[in-house]
Structure 1
């Protein structure tokens, strides 16, 4: 089997190396957490002071966020936070299921002993975060460990393009997933879902693992669907 050279997914945890990267991360976090609302106009002259960088640096950071589909450019009219909608999340969900299940299937085929060790370690750290029941101070830790777990699952997939597109879809889904975590519209045992996924992957049962993964991803969409429309619209526009 091909050797897996990917670490446990901690690359994004490194300290930012440039002002552009620092501004990018701060803006990205504020968009995903909803501090910068969907559709909100991003005025460079105001935001540069909020984020402590120059106008040029901020524009570079916003350009990176356009690549992530978290910001849209309006030509001479500047930048806005990308909009969100239930229809958009449905599209994200179906595309993610299609791509991530294929990446997992390849990863199970190609993963070696190091991949198995990384997966067990990522699951252990995620379990520790889940035991805290995701209180307000622990949500960021859970989100990070959840991301790492999903990254490690597909890390032995040899296609860098699959993994690149999935990283974009994952962070797009994160904007919606937070609503599911906070509002809990349907009962879920997310730890049990992750455990079943980990066990099927470790058993090299690609059919079972991809079935579990597809249902795991779709459940978040179905959860969002159950939120009353007026409450959902209020949260999406908050």
Structure 2
């Protein structure tokens, strides 16, 4: 029979076990909990408050840095460097990397660790084709099943997107994060009434995978394009319940981002840097190649591989 003394001993052991969960690989207790919020804030990530955990903070900050090009496609993600960068434990970094592996933003090399997932025009072309197939089908189903609540969600998301599109024209770099979030909300609202959970799951994955490429297109020298007019046309056709027209406009909208990125890269090939005689693209790729990492350098020389800049492209200020 359990005595009061046994219960107290058990509670003490449980408390010590929970405290031990905050030990990192070097046996340091709790220091990460104090330091990480400040470091995350310095990097532009959200502060760790309320129910937010260290893993969520590390995951969100690393994910944002991958999408922003701080870590270029193909870059080796070294555990010790990430621990130092974010002031968190090795187990926290591993869990964050595992979540990013599930999103296909990083790749695993077995015992050799992790890398940022590669990026190429061929990959984006494939993503674009599949997105057109599934998103247009989801939009058709949403139009067939949507009610007034669905329509009001589209109206609200379109209004918010329109506001950030005005800022995007004035300050591309400053508005890109807000634009990406509101653009995602608008596209989600369009298909919210689609009854297929599998279509929603697939579309969410594809949209997420396309984000790096949309950011590349938005960060490159602007290609003539009226994003607001494209969204307005899709909005009008959807609320008019014209499934054929709405689906066609959505497909064209998705495909234009691929066209914009391809055009930007072609322009990079033609535009010389002020010194050295190299094209902008060649210069940027030289800056982006992983350093002190032979496999990464080899991968960067493959035809069609895109490396997103660690810094702004010198000839231009740096989606759908």
The two structures have a TM-score, normalised by structure 1, of 0.89
Deviation, 1:182, is 2.3
4+ runs of 1 displaced by more than 6 Å?
none
Match of 1:8 in 2: none
Match of 1:179 in 2: 216
Please list every run of 5 or more consecutive structure 2 residues that lacks an aligned counterpart in the other structure: 1-48, 270-279, 286-305, 310-320
Q: Alignment RMSD, CA only?
A: 1.8
More relative contact order, 1 or 2 (CA 8 Å, 6+ apart)? 1
Match of 1:147 in 2: 184
Deviation, 1:197, is 0.3
Match of 1:104 in 2: 139
Structure 1 residues 26 and 16: alpha-carbon distance in aligned structure 2, compared to 1, 3 A threshold? farther
SS at structure 2 position matched to 1:137: helix
Whole-Å Cα distance in 2 between the matches of residues 189 and 15 of structure 1?
A: 40
SS at structure 1 position matched to 2:107: strand
* Aligned with 1:71 (options 85, 103, 106): 106
Superposed counterparts of 1:1-238, under 5 Å: 17-132=52-167, 133=169, 135=171, 136-227=173-264, 228=266, 230=269, 231-232=280-281, 234=284, 236-237=306-307, 238=309
Structure 1 residues 15 and 70: alpha-carbon distance in aligned structure 2, compared to 1, 3 A threshold? farther
Whole-Å Cα distance in 1 between the matches of residues 113 and 157 of structure 2?
A: 40
Q: Is the 8 A contact 1:184 1:223 kept in 2?
A: no
Deviation, 1:175, is 0.8
Deviations along 1:106-135, one digit per CA (max 9) or x if unpaired, are: 111111111100100000000011111251
Aligned residues: 225
Please list every run of 5 or more consecutive structure 1 residues that lacks an aligned counterpart in the other structure: 1-13
The structure having more radius of gyration, on CA atoms, is: 2
Whole-Å Cα distance in 1 between the matches of residues 189 and 235 of structure 2?
A: 10
Whole-Å Cα distance in 1 between the matches of residues 233 and 248 of structure 2?
A: 11
SS at structure 1 position matched to 2:115: strand
| More divergent stretch after superposition (59-68 vs 70-79) | 59-68
